[in-house]
């Protein structure tokens, strides 16, 4: 523990400066929630799938609210943060898209994105992760943290990511597709994997994409030989 001893004049000035900084932010947060969220804690928006204005961007509106609570001790902003998070989970679990197969049954599964890269996952999870700074003993927060950790520990049979009997890993970000993959070879210009449909009843269609924005080009699909950065990045579809 670090103890600081400051003259009362300095401490008082710092307190007033902190108050002058935090109070407008708290007021803005309350006004923002009142205007852009409904009574369920749902964001008033058109739910979209993907990394561009997708679920992660929706909850990022509350990005620093847990930090604001940690600094100010204002319980109202914490309550709004939790309300927005719970509403967000419900809103995007029910949200559907027909544009891609990943999210046709919901954009969230077990309160986690059904398929997304880790950069956007981190953006979408930052609100709940930062809650550990302001309210680490909250029961719902602890339950969520244990559930997410349980994915990697195979504690959830509906979201297992690895097999203890062979070198086989589930596609950790695509649980709902019931696919498994076994990496056989990984090099700078190619990757070889064995894909297995672990669903006992349904067939699966595999969509192969190289790069996040089509900046690479496949040369051969069976071995995924590719030319890296051979074309300009684009958001146009199909790639």
Average pLDDT over residues 152-176: 58
Q: What is the pLDDT of residue 25?
A: 93
Shared domain for 120 and 204, answered yes or no, is no
Torsions phi, psi for 75 (to 5 deg): -75, -20
Shared domain for 136 and 39, answered yes or no, is yes
Report yes or no: 174 and 114 within 8 Å, Cβ to Cβ: yes
Q: How many angstroms separate the most distant Cα atoms in the chain?
A: 73
Among 87, 121, 152, identify where a domain stops. 152
Shared domain for 133 and 222, answered yes or no, is no
Q: How far apart are CA 17 and CA 33, in angstroms?
A: 25
Is the peptide bond preceding residue 140 cis, with omega within 30 degrees of 0? no
Q: How far apart are CA 177 and CA 108, in angstroms?
A: 13
Shared domain for 182 and 99, answered yes or no, is no
pLDDT class of 171 with cuts at 50, 70, 90: very low
- Per residue in 12-61, pLDDT (tens digit) is 666 778 788 899 999 999 999 999 999 999 999 999 887 778 899 999 99
Q: Identify the domain containing residue 16 by its residue range.
A: 8-152
Taking the whole predicted model, whether its pTM rises above 0.85 is answered as: no
Instruction: Report the number of distinct structural domains present in the chain.
Output: 2
Pick the more confident residue, 189 or 120: 120
Which of 2-6, 105-109, 164-168 has the largest mean confidence?
105-109
Q: Is residue 22 part of a domain?
A: yes
């Amino acid at each position: 523990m670090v103890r600081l001893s400051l003259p009362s004049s300095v401490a008082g000035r710092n307190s007033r400066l902190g108050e002058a900084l935090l109070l407008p932010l708290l007021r803005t947060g309350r006004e923002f929630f009142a205007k852009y969220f409904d009574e369920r804690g749902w964001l008033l928006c058109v739910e979209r799938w993907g990394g561009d204005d997708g679920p992660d961007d929706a909850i990022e509106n509350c990005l620093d609210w847990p930090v604001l609570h940690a600094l100010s001790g204002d319980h109202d902003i914490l309550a709004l943060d939790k309300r927005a998070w719970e509403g967000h989970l419900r809103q995007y679990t029910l949200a559907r898209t027909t544009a891609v197969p990943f999210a046709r049954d919901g954009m969230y599964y077990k309160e986690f994105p059904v398929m997304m890269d880790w950069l956007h996952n981190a953006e979408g999870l930052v609100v709940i992760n930062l809650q550990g700074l302001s309210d680490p003993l909250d029961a719902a927060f602890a339950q969520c943290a244990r559930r997410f950790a349980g994915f990697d520990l195979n504690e959830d049979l509906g979201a297992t990511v690895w097999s203890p009997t062979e070198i086989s890993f589930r596609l950790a970000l695509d649980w709902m597709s019931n696919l498994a993959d076994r990496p056989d070879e990984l090099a700078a210009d190619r990757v070889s994997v064995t894909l297995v449909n672990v669903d006992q009843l349904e067939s699966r269609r595999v969509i192969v994409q190289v790069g996040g924005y089509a900046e690479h080009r496949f040369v051969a699909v069976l071995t995924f030989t590719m030319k890296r950065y051979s074309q300009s990045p684009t958001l146009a579809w199909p790639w």
